[in-house]
Amino acid sequence: MSERIVVVGGGMVAHRFVEALRSRDAEGRFEVVVLAEEPRPPYDRVALTTYFTGRDPQELNLGQDELWQDPLVRLRKGIAATAIDREARTVALSTGERLSYDHLVLATGSSAAVPPVEGSDLRGCFVYRTIDDVADLRGYVEQLRSDHPDRPVRGTVVGGGLLGLEAAGALQALGAESTVVEFAPRLMPLQVDEGGGEQLRRLIEDLGVRVLTGTATAKVLAKRTGRAAAMRFADGSSLDTEVVIFATGVRPRDELARAAGLDVGERGGVVVDEACRTTDSAISAIGEVACIEGRVWGLVAPGYAMAEITADRLLGGSATFPGADSSTKLKLLGVDVASFGDAFATGEGTLEVAYADAVAGVYKKLVLSDDAKTLLGGILVGDASAYASLRPMLGRELGCDPAAFLVPDVGDAAAAGIELPDDAGVCSCNNVTAGQIRTAVSEEGCCSLAEVKGCTKAGTSCGSCLPLVKKLVETEQERAGIEVQRGLCEHFDLSRAELFNAVQVTGLHTFSEIIARHGRGHGCDICKPVVASILASLGNGHILDGEQGGLQDTNDHMLANLQKDGTYSVVPRIPGGEITPDGLMTIGAIAKDFDLYTKITGGQRIDLFGARVDQLPAIWQRLVDAGFESGHAYGKSLRTVKSCVGQTWCRYGVQDSVAMAIALELRYRGLRSPHKLKLGVSGCARECAEARAKDVGVIATEQGWNLYVGGNGGFTPRHAELFAEDLDDAGLVRAIDRFLMYYIRTADRLQRTAAWLEEIDGGLDHVRDVVLHDSLGVADELDAAMADHIGGYQDEWRAVLEDPVKLARFTAFVNDSSPDDSLQYVVERGQRRPVMIAGPDLAVRP
């Protein structure tokens, strides 16, 4: 019989505990029951604010399905523990049951602490802790917005700390005006000093958030409806506001422990020893509810450490709490703030090196030992790019002039030069050291950032360590002799994205000029098609024009797909998969006349196989005459926009998915890109078009369209992630235009959108900022590029048929007009297929 561990609380730390225990307890000594008061599996509270930027709440969930389906794990959602009977070793549940335990783990976290302000319980007042909190907030703001479409919703956040500023960002994301009220004389008083606070205030105000510091909230005033309408401050002044968010700190949820007679700290929290045991050795406490070494930690990393310790101890280990640091970084609002170590230089004999530039909007300070060598702490406001590299150096010698880290631009370069010791912590959320990352590459065979993330968990929580993790992975790969593929091939040291930029800036449009300027040699089958694709993306006429023709891979060169016997397949465009009976019959007749093997593809269209080079023009002529055009099955370009039948016929459809799919297919047809592009449009959430398996997936809602991006079938399947919700037609098209153009400009060669989103700095959030909020100021350029593409579109088949020079290449032999007679076929299931030419013919030299 296995022993039973009951975990009270289903938060982040509880999740980590279950994961740690299950991965170590191979023999199945313990079964675990998790009691989670919230009606959902543990989720990433740290990323809660992304709920407002359109992220699918499901994606916040922690723990792979396997973890919760493990027979030794039972997650009971929506059930709270109400009392502990230590003598009987049982827990009482909100369902009235009693559950016995061999060991009890308290992971109840904390709740938002609301100050005793009159009116703080009125409708319109919120806290910011759970998914339900943010969902309520969102619903309320949206309701107000539709009640008063004529003016913006006014919101106020009480508390100017990390959480308060996140909440202010959330209000903005909801389209509300926001004011932050802070009692202290500056924002983020626990993390930044006066100089940093001043700079931070300017940056936050530049974003349109009002900041009131040194201001005490006295009262929330109500309208007659009982809803919040204004706030009154201690100095008698007031402010109209309909939404108030209290972000004034948290209180450990130690109520069960108190009632059960366990020791609690002076300022709350269940007192535990270095092994995370409470005063009852059968009960541990971990995470935000625990008071360890006299202190309650409001951060996830120390909680994760406690989870690991508890799992280790239960299995007979002797792990102890290693201490923690309170490094923090503001994640949202687009303002860089970081604070780490002894940020306020409270230690004896410390030196401070500071740099401030009000024009550039940066303030940076490092705290050093008295010999100016060892890094003790720091504050970075406005530009925290050095944070990821500096944090692991805490308590260590920097090994270079500290000023180098503070000067703009140089900072990053200096940071790149430092060599981190193996035991330096890199990801504090997940306790991953530089050594573990190196080992993942050198010994565990991880070949990419994504694999290292999967294997070590580094960078998977707040993400602030990602730049450093990436750098470590690349350095280690170089060291292991694995070539870090940045350059395209032996002819170009530039990556595809760099080359794209270069070609765009210099305006060169022939391969010979481009390779002379940016590369060497005569090119190859890697760089030539890449340059051809870049030139096509930048709008340089027909892909077979002039020198461009010679660069194309055979598929693009023949505007058809090469098959194993050297013939080609022909795929006419069938936008959205919609085709008339006459259209079907035309295709059928052509297939019959040319004896082409015919198959319905996985992309909702028809492929005609076995066409000889010299037959292609005649086949196209018939198709073009009947109103068909090239389906670009051969190009690294838009393939198909798959659709379901949608509203016009389906009894569940809520939008016309076929019309949208056709519109999108016609808009993006012929668009050359780093890899092929596939889109899908479904008429309702049942998702019959499998849109979430596509690079761009569109799913109809009652209000409009939800947009998903980065899906993939193929080698590494991936579901597309929610990018934006309830867009109208124009908003949808604009978002897709920019998304695709941004991808085309920045992705690597043969990198599908899925891999691109995994690799690009800042990930999906960054791309969303660029596309929806124009954070790089390139939206106009992207829109113009797409407009050029649409305006310049021509059917590639028709253009060949109309141009004798291009047409001339479609012959089998340059010196003989007869067809290639070496091709042989047999009939199978009523159609012909190639006889494979007697085995590969590998001429061996004597």
Partner 1 sequence: MWVTVARLADLPVERAVAARVGTDQVAVVRLSDDRVYAVGNRDPFSGANVMARGIVGSTVVDGTERRTLASPMYKQAFCLETGDCLTEPSVNLGTWQVRLREDVVEIGQREESV
Ligand X SMILES: Cc1cc2nc3c(=O)[nH]c(=O)nc-3n(C[C@H](O)[C@H](O)[C@H](O)COP(=O)(O)OP(=O)(O)OC[C@H]3O[C@@H](n4cnc5c(N)ncnc54)[C@H](O)[C@@H]3O)c2cc1C
Kindly write down the DSSP assignment for every residue of 767-806, as one continuous string. Answer: HHHHHHH-TTS-HHHHHHHHHHHHHH---HHHHHHT-HHH
In terms of CB distance, is 244 or 700 closer to ligand SF4?
700
Report, in Å, the least distance between residue 451 CB and ligand X. Answer: 25
In 3D space, the residue among 301, 275, 278 whose CA is nearest the CA of residue 288 turns out to be 301
In 3D space, the residue among 328, 310, 386, 422 whose CA is nearest the CA of residue 8 turns out to be 310
Q: Is 688 annotated as a binding residue?
A: yes
Phi, psi of 733, rounded to the nearest 5 degrees: -65, -40
Of 248, 328, 464, 682, which one interacts with ligand FES (CB under 6 A)? 464
Residue 553 touching partner 1 (CB under 8 A): yes
How far is it, in rounded angstroms, from Cα 469 to Cα 391?
Answer: 13
Residue 507 touching partner 1 (CB under 8 A): no
Residue 551 touching partner 1 (CB under 8 A): yes
Residue 829 touching ligand SRM (CB under 6 A): no
Pairing label, strands 217-222, 228-233? antiparallel
User: Three-class SS of residue 474?
Assistant: helix
Residue 673 touching ligand SRM (CB under 6 A): no
Largest Cα separation within the chain, whole Å, is 100
Residue 841 touching partner 1 (CB under 8 A): yes
Among ligand SF4, ligand FES, partner 1, none, what binds residue 33 when CB lies within 5 to 8 Å by partner kind? none
Report, in Å, the least distance between residue 647 CB and ligand SF4. Answer: 7
In terms of CB distance, is 555 or 655 closer to ligand SF4?
655
Residues lying near ligand SF4 in the complex (CB under 6 A) are found at: 644-646, 650, 652-653, 657, 682-684, 686-688
Sign of CA dihedral 170, 175, 179, 181: negative
Of 205, 206, 525, 774, which one interacts with partner 1 (CB under 8 A)? 525
In 3D space, the residue among 530, 416, 519, 534 whose CA is nearest the CA of residue 475 turns out to be 416
Q: Is 644 annotated as a binding residue?
A: yes
Report, in Å, the least distance between residue 519 CB and partner 1. Answer: 11
Instruction: Enter the tokens of residue 836.
Output: 């494979």
Residue 803 touching partner 1 (CB under 8 A): no
Kindly write down the DSSP assignment for every residue of 635-682, as one continuous string. Answer: SSBEEEEEE---TTT-TT--S-HHHHHHHHHHHHTT-B-SS-EEEEEE
Residue 635 touching ligand SRM (CB under 6 A): no
Angle at 440 between CA 437 and CA 442, to 5 degrees: 105
Of 177, 193, 288, 607, which one interacts with ligand SRM (CB under 6 A)? 607
Residue 558 touching partner 1 (CB under 8 A): yes
How far is it, in rounded angstroms, from Cα 749 to Cα 742?
Answer: 14
How far is it, in rounded angstroms, from Cα 623 to Cα 669?
Answer: 17
**Residue list 4-33, contact with partner 1 (CB under 8 A):** none
Residues lying near ligand X in the complex (CB under 6 A) are found at: 8-14, 35-38, 45-46, 48-49, 80-81, 107-110, 128-129, 163, 166, 253, 256, 287-288, 298-301, 303, 331, 462
Q: Please count the other Cβ atoms lying within 10 Å of the Cβ belonging to residue 84.
A: 24
Do 697 and 663 contact (CB within 8 A), yes or no? no
Do 237 and 219 contact (CB within 8 A), yes or no? no
Report, in Å, the least distance between residue 166 CB and ligand X. Answer: 5
How far is it, in rounded angstroms, from Cα 419 to Cα 360?
Answer: 29
Among ligand SF4, ligand X, ligand SRM, none, what binds residue 448 when CB lies within 5 to 8 Å by partner kind? none
Q: Is 527 annotated as a binding residue?
A: no
Residue 818 touching ligand SRM (CB under 6 A): no
**Residue 805: is it exposed, middle or buried by C-beta count within 10 angstroms (0-12/13-18/19+)?**
exposed
Q: Is 684 annotated as a binding residue?
A: yes
Taking residues 409 to 438 in sequence order and writing x for each that binds ligand SRM by CB under 6 A, - otherwise, the string is ------------------------------
Report, in Å, the least distance between residue 287 CB and ligand SRM. Answer: 40
Residue 465 touching ligand FES (CB under 6 A): yes
Of 814, 826, 827, 830, which one interacts with partner 1 (CB under 8 A)? 814
What are the binding residues for [4Fe-4S] cluster? 644, 650, 684, 688
Q: Which residues bind ligand FES (CB under 6 A)?
A: 427-430, 458-465
Q: Which residues bind partner 1 (CB under 8 A)?
A: 490-491, 512, 521-525, 528-529, 547, 549-551, 553-554, 557-558, 562, 564-566, 809, 812-816, 820, 822, 836-846
What are the binding residues for siroheme? 688
